[in-house]
Amino acid sequence: DAKTTQPPSMDCAEGRAANLPCNHSTISGNEYVYWYRQIHSQGPQYIIHGLKNNETNEMASLIITEDRKSSTLILPHATLRDTAVYYCIVRVANSGGGADGLTFGKGTHLIIQP
């Protein structure tokens, strides 16, 4: 799986949009971009994933650049409960079945300020 690079930490004011960048310059054409987050003392929580088109769900939006070398996770109206470590991961598409293990890097510690 391709390696990702994320800033170690970011601050964001409560109520503002939090934009978390991720660089995955070695991504292959069949690799998906996933975002998970982990709140202290809990297991990681799935947020969103995409292949090449931008995606939006009830939690966040995922913007993937046209060359797919980077992406941005957007939390539109951050709250204090969004304080967590956010992980950007790329995983190869495996239509034959079999979940290749996720490899999480250090992630970005997002701190929402009141």
Partner 1 sequence: KAGVTQTPRYLIKTRGQQVTLSCSPISGHRSVSWYQQTPGQGLQFLFEYFSETQRNKGNFPGRFSGRQFSNSRSEMNVSTLELGDSALYLCASSLQGITNEKLFFGSGTQLSVL
State which of positions 7-36 bind partner 1 (CB under 8 A).
32, 36
Give the binding range for partner 1 (CB under 8 A) out of 5-13, 17-25, 42-50, 75-83. 42-50
List 21, 49, 74, 109, residue binding partner 1 (CB under 8 A): 49
If the CB atoms of residues 99 and 114 are measured against partner 1, the closer one turns out to be 99
Least spacing, CB of residue 80 vs partner 1, in Å: 20
Could you tell me whether strands 9-13 and 108-113 are parallel, antiparallel, or unpaired per DSSP bridges? parallel
Side-chain half-sphere CA neighbours of 26 within 13 A = 7
Of all residues in the chain, what percent are helix, strand and coil, respectively (each to 5)? 5, 45, 50
List 29, 40, 66, 101, residue binding partner 1 (CB under 8 A): 101
Burial of 32 (0-12, 13-18, 19+ CB in 10 A): middle
Q: Does 80 bind partner 1 (CB under 8 A)?
A: no
